[in-house]
Structure 1
């Protein structure tokens, strides 16, 4: 399985600016050159949905008893294809670029999955998952999965079905996702609450971090999502722009 990675990730337990941050992650390339200092990014980041889909999977499975009834499984979800940035903001403040650690590629595959709450998910409302791009051969064909980040939002059934109805009736003109305190998102220190560049650290072994002996820092990785909000807008244009009002 080819992931097209380079260099390694090193945890630097020292900082020239202890009042700002205590430690950082740095990329070290194959020639030994050390890159920028990245620290956990806790502020808000925005994404705009460019596609909304409703999906349902229905299946059945037996328990091995030829006389028994099959167990039915039904899964429902709403998925969205996302692009970085906030369609409501005409400035460049929220147009952040993302890249996986150990790559120089720009992440272009962002998704949102909205699912009804079940017993497992009752205690949380969101999580985040991601993978570094890889290719794998199946039946003599190379299949490529791009660098990917997926946000998960769990809602009660009433909210889920109301959103399904809105999508089916084409009643949504804009959908924006805001996330915050995303474990696994890193950026250079900044006095501002927005950043133009984010590095992503996944749970995979491809993102093994070299930690100096005696250092007890466990760098956050994708998994926990501290905040997630979905903003929906339906626009009704009553007067054409540039057209003078009727007296």
Structure 2
């Protein structure tokens, strides 16, 4: 008996039905409270069946986490940091009461009410570019803090552009017939002085601002770790991430 062959229309219908079945299966898992995603052990098991060394799978997973952490590396403009960030691992998840205490500390530290959001196990507090998030990881939970100074970035960019335009002007001064020495000197003084002032104050403020924010982030992170550790010591852990066993 010859092997069954499928024409183009049949192939299309088969894949459409397979997609529908896959969607139904995912929906069923969700209704049963199944946890989305896969654990590292499950990934290693699947990789082993495909002939991939489990150590390589673990290294790839670690690389993925590191890539996400690298995304929080300081943002620099012309070599000057205009952002600050800090990430701390937590021994357990902060429950609602712990999170409320942390929010009080955040409002006190940054003198801002901010906005609080709850999405499942995710918690976040934000005020403009300032963001604090509690999020799950492969091994537990972490607190991610980051911010960016629009003021420093704006002054640094504005001052740099002012100096750039001044250089362009001086390079073309010979083409401008009606530009007197007095006018040229005035332009150099105004544009050069303004550019240097903007860029210089942005540079100085960047050092003070990043040092302050990093110190505040470290204090917030230490407080969050204390709250999580106290919850564990009391035997009332609001829940670690399941191991996937």
TM-score norm. by structure 1 comes to 0.22
Query: Which structure dedicates a bigger proportion of its chain to strand?
Result: 1
Q: Which protein shows a greater Rg?
A: 2
